[in-house]
Structure 1
Amino acid sequence: MITVSEAFSILQNNLPTLKEENCSLLEARKKTLSQSIHSPIHMPPFRQSAMDGYAVGIHDKLTYEIIGEIKAGDAESFVLQPGQAVKIFTGAPVPDTAQAMIPIEKVTVTQSVLTVQSVPKLEDNIRPIGEQIKKGELALEKGTELDAAAIGFLAALGITTVPVYKKPSVGIVVTGNELLTPGTPLTYGKVYESNGVMLEAALMDAFFQEVARYAVKDDFESTKNTLQTAIEKHDVILVSGGISVGDYDFVAQALQELEVKTLFHKVNQKPGKPLFAGKVNEKMIFALPGNPAACLTCFYVYVLPTLKRISGQITQYEAMNSLPLEHHLSVNNSRAQFLKAKITNGKVAILSHQASSMLNTFSTANALVYVVDGNYDLKENELVTVYGVKN
């Protein structure tokens, strides 16, 4: 049995090779650039009005002759002599002969005569060509995760497709004879299956969209065949249940026959001790505990960082956050623990119902607090290691 840190190190050293693809801008949402993007144009591509007002040929008087109008999108230009002005709207092209732009709030107009309050300064309220970015300059660096603002920026540069790291497709294999589909009558000895939809929801929360679920009974051949199908079709496979040492836990044997290399099996932690990680042909396989809270804990701590890493995101396995504990906590455990917790007003509180089978407090948690094994006390306001579990 290995430690949590050893499990992190093993995963880090066995990540699959990153895959690349070209996507349309919307398809690239929440994906990571695999190459840097340079601007194909100046932005703005012309001298541009920063607001509604009047573009003027500056002279030493406070009155100007209005000779025309330019709206956003107009291609018409004017040659302004000193003392002449054109009415102009936000985003419209400013004539090359205009020397300043005066906001509409600072002028008065009588017929075709414009009166200003003071002599304007050169280039006032005019966005110069390339003010935001010049042609050939770096627009977005490799490794940038594309959010709405980044996508809008690229669209404004006329870019329609981008090179990104391909997000892995994920197959979820749920095992267990005791599982019933929610909505069917609950019979004695059965429980409703929740891990599959829970994992799919967690994947969708993290913007992993290519997900499929498979159900398998506790039978060796069925388990092996379903796992083989999932491995053939997906980049990452998540198995729920069947990885322990019971008479009807067939996952480990099936993975062995499918020549899945064991990276580790069993981690000195609670919940989630039975966790398995393996690899075959650049495919990653995680066999997660069947108990729901243990399953979700292992997903957030091990699976999600792995998925992010093989999607090109820069993320760490080790938690980088420490927060003060809201209350005293006594630790008495031979295994490291991931405790369901809630961050409020900059402090973190440990929640009730910590059993590996219980999701009720996990549903209100927004963090996991990691505590090392041993017998000791943590005092109120003492800093503890915190893993965030909600985006």
Structure 2
Amino acid sequence: MLSVQEAESIILEQVPAPDEADIEAVSLEAASGRILAAPVTSDLDFPHWDNSAMDGYAVRHADLAGRPADLAIVEEIPAGSSPKKTLQPGQAARIFTGACLPEGADTVVMQEETQRNGDRVQILATPESGAFVRRRGSYYKAGDPLLPGGIALGAAEMAVLAAAQCLRVPVYRPLRVALLSTGNELVRPDRPLGPGQLVDSNQYGLAAWVQQMGAEPVRLGIIPDRPEALKSAIAKAILTADVVLSSGGVSVGEYDYIPKLLSELGGKIGVRSVAVKPGKPLTFATFPNCSYFGLPGNPVSALVTCWRFVGPALKKRSGLAESFWRPQWMQVRSRHELRSGGKRETYLWGKLRSVDGEIEFALAPGSQNSGNLINLAQTDALAVLPIGQTHVRAGESVRVLKVR
């Protein structure tokens, strides 16, 4: 049985990053939420020209030595128009936010610190030289890197691409993640339950999680615990998907066929079990064009192992930079007492919240076991107790992994 760190290292080393064949160019409108595949530059300076950050008057700072300075207004410059005149000594231009600074001006005086009298203005307070002037190229110089590759394109990044007039955007294609649930006891949610049967909740929970990760879930449904049916389904999945997630069939029972079938299909198994609770029977295998995760069948175990092990792997495979796909840990205060057996690295689920300006972890109410899917709802973090640690007192610090 591998340690969590050993399993994580094997998985993240063996899951490949995307290559050039995974890159596609999409329109700006279609790029939102995608992962940028290459650095972007622009041939525009930002700001494009010297402009005013304030409604007021563009002036020569040298003219403000006397107080109050009295200047002649020679033109008005609204945003979107081009200045017509060059300021001479003793002159000012009425200017509005975003408007181009006229030649000769080096400072803007906000209108609240002026008094206008017809075509003249008195400057009632002297700002520093260069006040309220956005200099051309002060935010970004044309030709410099604008956005790096390996980032997800959110609202701010989309606004930057639009401002840079980047109409075609290089992005990585979305991953295809095949999902299959194994077990003779499983039924679909729309079917009545017979004695000993269970609803296949994993297919729905995992599909939702895969979508949240920006990938495309491919649902293959419920596969019975028959070697020939499982082998056929797995063979189809590894040929059509980048990643396969199966749930169930990876423990040591007589009907747990997955590891043996993966080997028969040519898979290289890197992980068979992990010293973690929940999620011990985790299987990871690689094929030439596909990574395979055999998840435990218990719904809590399936999601916890996805959050802990599969999530970073999907992020790496999707093209995110390493700083984004490595697990992000936090050290916070625990609101409740936490306990574990100490023999395996233990994950307890709950919520993060701010209390008196400090982040704390609140344990989900109810039993913390792999069969209790109900109290997993609305949780957003996992607290970890390493091997050998059996107790965290309420109020003490605990390491947590944010999962939403």
TM-based fold match above 0.5: yes
Q: Note if 1:347 corresponds to 2:360.
A: yes
Secondary structure at the residue paired with 1:198? helix
Partner of 1:43: 46
- From 310, 323, 330, give the equivalent of 1:321: 330
Amino acid at match of 1:14: Q
| 1:75-109 Cα shifts (integer Å, max 9, x gaps) | 45323333333332211112223343232222333
Partner of 1:338: 347
Partner of 1:263: 270
- From 196, 200, 221, give the equivalent of 2:203: 196
8 Å Cα contact 1:336/1:370 also seen in 2: yes
* Aligned-pair CA distance for 1:32: 4.6
Partner of 2:177: 170
8 Å Cα contact 1:32/1:313 also seen in 2: no
TM-score by length of 1: 0.87
* Aligned-pair CA distance for 1:317: 5.8
8 Å Cα contact 2:114/2:125 also seen in 1: no
Partner of 1:8: 8
Q: Note if 1:221 corresponds to 2:256.
A: no
| 1:283-342 Cα shifts (integer Å, max 9, x gaps) | 111011111001011101110011112223325766643334444444335433222233
Distance, in Å, in 1 between the alignment partners of 2:78 and 2:389 is: 74
8 Å Cα contact 2:35/2:151 also seen in 1: yes
- The 5 A counterparts of 1:67-86 are 67-75=74-82, 77-86=84-93
Secondary structure at the residue paired with 2:80? coil
| 1:91-130 Cα shifts (integer Å, max 9, x gaps) | 1112223343232222333443333325666433221111
Partner of 1:312: 320
Q: Note if 1:363 corresponds to 2:377.
A: yes
Amino acid at match of 2:46: M
Distance, in Å, in 2 between the alignment partners of 1:318 and 1:84 is: 59
Distance, in Å, in 1 between the alignment partners of 2:36 and 2:389 is: 46
Secondary structure at the residue paired with 2:376? coil
Distance, in Å, in 1 between the alignment partners of 2:145 and 2:373 is: 46
| 1:340-385 Cα shifts (integer Å, max 9, x gaps) | 2333443334443222111122114322222244585444444433
Amino acid at match of 1:36: P
**Does the C-alpha gap of structure 1 residues 110 and 304 become closer, same or farther in structure 2, counting only changes over 3 Å?**
same
8 Å Cα contact 1:170/1:212 also seen in 2: yes
Amino acid at match of 2:348: L
Sequence identity percentage: 33
- The 5 A counterparts of 1:205-284 are 205-206=212-213, 208-218=214-224, 219-284=226-291
* Aligned-pair CA distance for 1:215: 0.6
Point out where structure 1 has 5 or more consecutive residues left out of the alignment. none
| Number of residue pairs matched by the alignment | 389
TM-score by length of 2: 0.84
8 Å Cα contact 1:369/1:384 also seen in 2: yes
When structure 1 is superposed on structure 2, of 331-340 and 43-52 the one drifting more is 331-340
Q: Note if 1:157 corresponds to 2:164.
A: yes
When structure 1 is superposed on structure 2, of 139-148 and 191-200 the one drifting more is 139-148
**Does the C-alpha gap of structure 1 residues 77 and 361 become closer, same or farther in structure 2, counting only changes over 3 Å?**
same
8 Å Cα contact 1:49/1:90 also seen in 2: yes
Secondary structure at the residue paired with 2:377? coil
